[in-house]
């Protein structure tokens, strides 16, 4: 549910200010009833402005293989490339969660707020699989520490299926694959920093079962209806 004037403005009919005036003038109805300023509605309500029905916004769902050097934000004061610039659409889509500026890999972008809430909510334990290159040799004990959980800012960050895939002696770097089930910002970097292995490179290979194997860096594809339905089904009832 959002403020009516916001829904009207976002549908492109008029500005938010003019939408407020129209509501005050009684020229907006919601489900057949004259609307009042301040009320909330949903895009699925029947909203009529000046006699014209607002079109329901079509939902779009994309899986992007995020390249390095792109920021997951609505705007950037430093003028860096935004994640939404990676996708050619006229819809107001947003990323589900965030990847850091220098992190690559799987990220969903959509204008479906309900699905975004499902995928971002920790209760739903959405799986994120990362492949990470870190400084130093990650030992068995440290692998266990990651799996038992590490307290970061008073919160226990826990990794699953931690596998040290290789250790390169010459560069003194370890390559680790691990799964996380929450979406805390900088979680992987903070976890490895806590065990004194700063992250050198980070890639998210899988998000909610969607892999970027078939996508080159910067490429994207639309999700199928079947995939969207599967993502909705990840919601756990409380």
Specify the residue, 188 or 231, whose C-beta has the smaller distance to ligand URA.
188
Q: Report the C-alpha gap between 104 and 68 in whole angstroms.
A: 5
Specify the residue, 49 or 83, whose C-beta has the smaller distance to ligand URA.
83
Closest approach of Cβ 224 to ligand URA, in Å? 25
Would you count residue 8 as binding ligand URA (CB under 6 A)?
Answer: no
Would you count residue 189 as binding ligand URA (CB under 6 A)?
Answer: yes
Positive or negative, the Cα torsion across 9, 14, 16, 21? negative
**Contact partners, residue 115, CB within 8 Å, separation at least 6:** 61, 96, 228, 231, 232
- The region of 34-42, 109-117, 163-171, 184-192 touching ligand URA under the rule CB under 6 A is 184-192
167, with CB counted inside 10 A (0-12, 13-18, 19+), is middle
**CB of 188 within 8 A of CB of 202?**
yes
Would you count residue 188 as binding ligand URA (CB under 6 A)?
Answer: yes
100 is catalytic: yes
Specify the residue, 100 or 227, whose C-beta has the smaller distance to ligand URA.
100
Site string for ligand URA, 98-127 (x = CB under 6 A): -xx--x------------------------
**CB of 82 within 8 A of CB of 71?**
yes
The residues of the shown chain that bind ligand URA, judged by CB under 6 A, are 99-100, 103, 186-189, 202
């Amino acid at each position: 549910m959002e403020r009516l004037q916001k829904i009207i403005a976002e549908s492109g009919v008029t500005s938010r200010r003019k939408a407020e005036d129209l509501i005050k003038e009684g020229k907006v109805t919601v489900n057949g009833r004259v609307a009042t300023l301040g009320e909330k509605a949903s895009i699925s309500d029947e909203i009529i402005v000046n006699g014209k029905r607002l079109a329901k916004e079509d939902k779009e769902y994309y899986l992007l293989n995020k390249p390095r050097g792109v920021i997951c934000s609505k705007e950037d004061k430093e003028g860096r490339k935004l994640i939404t610039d990676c996708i050619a659409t006229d819809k107001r889509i947003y990323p589900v969660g965030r990847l850091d500026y220098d992190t690559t890999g799987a990220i969903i972008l959509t204008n479906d707020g309900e699905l975004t809430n499902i995928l971002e909510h920790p209760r739903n334990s959405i799986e994120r699989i990362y492949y990470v290159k870190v400084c130093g040799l990650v030992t068995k004990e440290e692998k266990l520490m990651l799996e038992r959980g590490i307290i970061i800012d008073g919160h226990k960050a826990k990794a699953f299926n931690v596998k040290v895939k290789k250790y390169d002696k010459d560069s003194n770097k370890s390559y680790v694959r691990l799964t996380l089930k929450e979406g805390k910002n900088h979680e992987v970097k903070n976890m490895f920093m806590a065990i004194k292995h700063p992250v050198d490179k980070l890639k998210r290979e899988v998000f909610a079962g969607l892999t970027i194997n078939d996508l080159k860096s910067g490429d994207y594809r639309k999700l199928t209806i079947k995939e969207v339905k599967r993502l909705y089904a990840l919601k756990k009832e409380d």
